[in-house]
Structure 1
Amino acid sequence: MMFLDPDSEESLVNQIVSGISLAIKEHRLKSGSKLPSIRKFAQTHKVSHFTAVEAYDRLVALGHLTPVRNAGFYVRSNPGNPRPDPVPEPHEEDTEFDFDAHLLLQKVFQPMGMELRPGIGLLPEQWTDHDGLQRGLRTLARNEPGSFSGYGQAKGSPRLRAKLAEKLADTRISAHPEQIMLTSGGSHALDLVTRYLVQRGDSVLVDEPGYHNLFLNLRLQGAKLLGVPRTLDGFDLEVLEALIIQHRPKVFFTNTRLHCPTGTSLSLAVAHRVLQLAEKYDFLIVENDIYADLDTTGQQALAGMDQLSRVIYIGSFSKTIAPALRVGFVAAHQELIDELVPLKLVSGLTTSELTEELALTVLLQGRHRKHVKQLQSNLADAHETVARLLEGVGMELFVKPHAGMFLWARHPLIEDSTALATKARDEKILLAPGQLFMPNAQIVPWMRFNVAHSLDERIYRLLEREIERL
């Protein structure tokens, strides 16, 4: 066990990197030896998951460790050599399965043998607007075959931005096309806004639980994350104001509608109070509203109540058209958008005008509105079925939203949902333990279920069997 001094001026990450590097140099860690998993290291040394992840990643970058997919981290035979050692595929009995946000991201894009994935954040492929995409591609190929050979405009397709301005106006958000910047999906929008607003050492408010990918991004920026507990109608307002008074954050990142992972939405009273606090204590709000089109209630966004004064609004087409499209957007006051554009250009030049025009073509099809209505109906049916199945094995639901993609559930006898998720791996089932969605990565009993991927009876047989063993 390594001694770490939390009161030292040297960061915990640097202490871990120095300690492991020294152990390798002094041959206390032999070539080819396996390090503890990230989760075990964090638990043993009482550090956060994020600290352990950053330290291990830095040791890999320095050439001291070799990561082996689905197996863990090993000491290189030639530490410091940037060329990786050839490592044999691990035996099944040696395989470790750490649950952290990195793993969840990998499992989304690389299923790696998982047959069922109720824990992921995507809709099934057959639920996307596949027909709309095909029709859109044919339309573009027929009508504008030679129009997409350049980089496009810095803010993105003017025609799509104009359409988005109309779409936002329908939801009572007033935005001129010049107040809208297109991005490569919602995550890209969050990344640009994060890098623009957040500097190392800044205190930022986030949902607790909340979006794991955002937490990783903010940690990389050196931010101090302040978790605001989610409640059935939005937030614990007393905790929120106490955090604001104590830490004076500059920004609050929040998913206001059909929240990931709890499925909750802000009540009108809570929304008004949040905007009052932002005005009183002078901070910005980044409203991640990527599930807006799945909402059947017509709830007004914070951006509509604030009219983009203190609210920066983020949206995406990943849920209603397809994630492969990679088209999202940021809407904000003109000055902020103009300052975001150079950051977008530096980080990746322009976004794809081809995919932007494809998104526009799909939106202009009359059938897309029918697709969204059908998607809402499919999700409502899945919510009803999955809620019944979860409750049937003794799970408690945080809320029943009847819309959106997620249910947040726990069992009264389960304290560590991460342990249950690890057992599910042997059944080739990917669960999403609540630890992934906590800003400080603490273990909790809650789990996120994507209702569209949670209709298979094998999931509930697993849950029932593991619960019976408690």
Structure 2
Amino acid sequence: MNKYIELMNEIEMQIASGSIRGGQRLPSIRELSARHQCSSSTVIRAYAELEKRHLVYTIPQSGYYAVLKKAESRQQSVGTEAVLDFSSASPDPELFPYLDFQHCLNKAIDIYRNRLFVYGTPQGLPSLLPVLSRHLADTQVFAKPEEIVITSGVQQALAILTAMPFPTNRSTVLVEQPTYHMMIRLLETMNIQASGITRTENGIDLDELEKLFRVGDIKLFYTIPRFHNPLGTSYDENTKKAIASLARKYDVYIVEDDYLVDLETGTKSDPIHAYSSSHVIYLKSYSKILFPGLRIGVAVLPQELMDMFCRYKNLSDIDSSMVSQAALEIYIQNGLFSRRKHKIANTYHNRLLRLNAALDQYNNSAYVWHARVSSGVHTHLRLRESAAIPDLLNRLSKQKIILKTSNDGFLTGFTKQPIIKLSVTRTEEALIEEGIQTIFAEIRKTRF
């Protein structure tokens, strides 16, 4: 047996037995080499093979660490005390990279200790900006570091954009209906003039969009082209190109919220920003792919908006968390983000495939239509009318199945559509089919 295999087996057994715990720093290459009387290259090969098996990971200039073993699966079943939650948009805590990011935080403090405990700049940690520039290019967003601002989550960027003046001196914010519920709450709480345009699983009426751009005093159009919240569907390429063209023609700024771009599994799905960077403000969240408490978002802005945006941001929080930014820089640079992205995208994709299959199998109702989506984390049910929905959701909640309508995604006074959101972020894959079967059993008992 090769020496490196012996080393691999020994370390793997120690991890399996618990004598090496998740997150624990492993012996150095020099230490193992001396202990086992082998060359350093043998130890390096053993660690490399263990890393391929996702049993260890490395942090440059720090060492090798054991990967945290996945916690025992939650024992759940529909109809018992456990809850099957199809309503939540929050990431699954079981997938959070706690230890990986903890080590990046510790390393960030070691490396940037002289820069993290003083005020930074509204634009963000200077060393992170070029890293993000290269990172965004992977999804066809080509932006120079000076065009990027790091925000405390996408929500802060939305608050700034809706409040700040634009060069066009227009005042109305146009939003899809339905849309992200926190955007609705922001607009109505801040008493910002807003109007809506209907969006369905088939998209929006581009003729109506052009009319609104032409006569509607539109300051900006907030859109979620990819994995729309709450519909789950995405615009096709022609629609995105048409929106970009109309934005240029009528000098309207598009705010493109691409919050789930890292879950894209399609090979060709460019953002609107790729077709009109001069009129598109591109927003990306790192909180969704890592964990909500990270609170890091990225805004890519046309140059004419940069000064005003940074001025408003400086009044909001001076700068976003420098420690989180430094840890994110290390997380991306070390390849941990890429591995994390692949893992979580595959996990959610498998759940979504299971959801689609269950919907196709059990939705035999003439009163309910479901959208089939291939990527992302959610889809929706569209019902014939909404009057019976509250009773349906109440009966399902008694069976520990939680669903939610999209009513909070509509502007006050806009006609609400009878839509129920279905999310897979907090659902066990093995329980999805049983949950959908129960949902449609209750729908058949409902009078629409």
Residues 392 and 443 in structure 2, CA contact (< 8 A), matched pair in contact too: no
Whether 1:177 and 2:137 are equivalent positions in the alignment is no
CA distance in 1, matches of 2:173, 2:321: 31
CA distance in 2, matches of 1:419, 1:347: 43
After superposition, the C-alpha distances for 1:398-435 in whole angstroms (9 at most, x for unaligned) are 43221111111134576553443344444454422021
Provide the residue aligned with 2:325 in structure 1. Answer: 356
After superposition, the C-alpha distances for 1:190-234 in whole angstroms (9 at most, x for unaligned) are 111111148999432211221110011112232343322224453
Specify which of 217, 231, 234 is matched with residue 248 of structure 1: 217
Residues 173 and 194 in structure 2, CA contact (< 8 A), matched pair in contact too: yes
Specify which of 415, 418, 421 is matched with residue 445 of structure 1: 418
Match of 1:272, SS state, is helix
Specify which of 191, 203, 208 is matched with residue 234 of structure 1: 203
Whether 1:168 and 2:140 are equivalent positions in the alignment is no
Provide the residue aligned with 2:309 in structure 1. Answer: 340
Match of 1:453, SS state, is coil
Q: CA deviation at 1:142?
A: 4.4
CA distance in 2, matches of 1:338, 1:363: 27
After superposition, the C-alpha distances for 1:67-113 in whole angstroms (9 at most, x for unaligned) are xxxxxxxxxxxxxxxxxxxxxxxxxxxxxxxxxxxxxxxxxxxxxx9
CA distance in 1, matches of 2:335, 2:90: 24
Match of 2:218, SS state, is coil
Provide the residue aligned with 1:208 in structure 2. Answer: 177
Specify which of 403, 410, 413 is matched with residue 382 of structure 2: 410
CA distance in 1, matches of 2:240, 2:416: 29
Letter in 2 for 1:435: N
C-alpha RMSD of the superposition = 2.8
Match of 1:234, SS state, is coil
Whether 1:463 and 2:411 are equivalent positions in the alignment is no
5+ residue gaps in structure 2? 1-80
Residues 262 and 408 in structure 1, CA contact (< 8 A), matched pair in contact too: yes
Q: CA deviation at 1:445?
A: 2.3
State the aligned residue count: 357
Residues 151 and 352 in structure 1, CA contact (< 8 A), matched pair in contact too: no
After superposition, the C-alpha distances for 1:260-285 in whole angstroms (9 at most, x for unaligned) are 11122222211121122222222111
5+ residue gaps in structure 1? 1-112
Provide the residue aligned with 1:186 in structure 2. Answer: 154
Letter in 2 for 1:433: T
Residue 263 and residue 139 in structure 1: after superposition, are their counterparts in 2 closer, same or farther (change >3 A)?
A: same
Residues 183 and 189 in structure 1, CA contact (< 8 A), matched pair in contact too: yes
Residue 160 and residue 386 in structure 1: after superposition, are their counterparts in 2 closer, same or farther (change >3 A)?
A: same
Residues 286 and 296 in structure 2, CA contact (< 8 A), matched pair in contact too: yes
**Structure 1 range deviating more: 210-219 or 163-172:** 163-172
Q: CA deviation at 1:382?
A: 0.6
Residues 114 and 430 in structure 1, CA contact (< 8 A), matched pair in contact too: no
Kindly, what percent of the aligned residue pairs are identical?
Answer: 25
Letter in 2 for 1:152: G
Residues 316 and 329 in structure 1, CA contact (< 8 A), matched pair in contact too: yes
Residue 435 and residue 280 in structure 1: after superposition, are their counterparts in 2 closer, same or farther (change >3 A)?
A: same
CA distance in 1, matches of 2:361, 2:164: 47
Q: CA deviation at 1:334?
A: 2.3
CA distance in 2, matches of 1:287, 1:349: 24
Q: CA deviation at 1:447?
A: 0.9
Residues 406 and 450 in structure 1, CA contact (< 8 A), matched pair in contact too: yes
What is the correspondence of 1:106-117 to structure 2 with a 5 Å cutoff? Answer: 115-117=83-85
**Normalised by the size of structure 1, how large is the TM-score?**
0.69
CA distance in 1, matches of 2:201, 2:440: 27
After superposition, the C-alpha distances for 1:111-157 in whole angstroms (9 at most, x for unaligned) are xx994432121110122333431331232244445542112222111
Specify which of 328, 349, 354 is matched with residue 385 of structure 1: 354
After superposition, the C-alpha distances for 1:168-206 in whole angstroms (9 at most, x for unaligned) are 233333322121111111111111111114899943221
4+ aligned runs moved over 6 Å, structure 1: 198-201
Residue 200 and residue 222 in structure 1: after superposition, are their counterparts in 2 closer, same or farther (change >3 A)?
A: farther
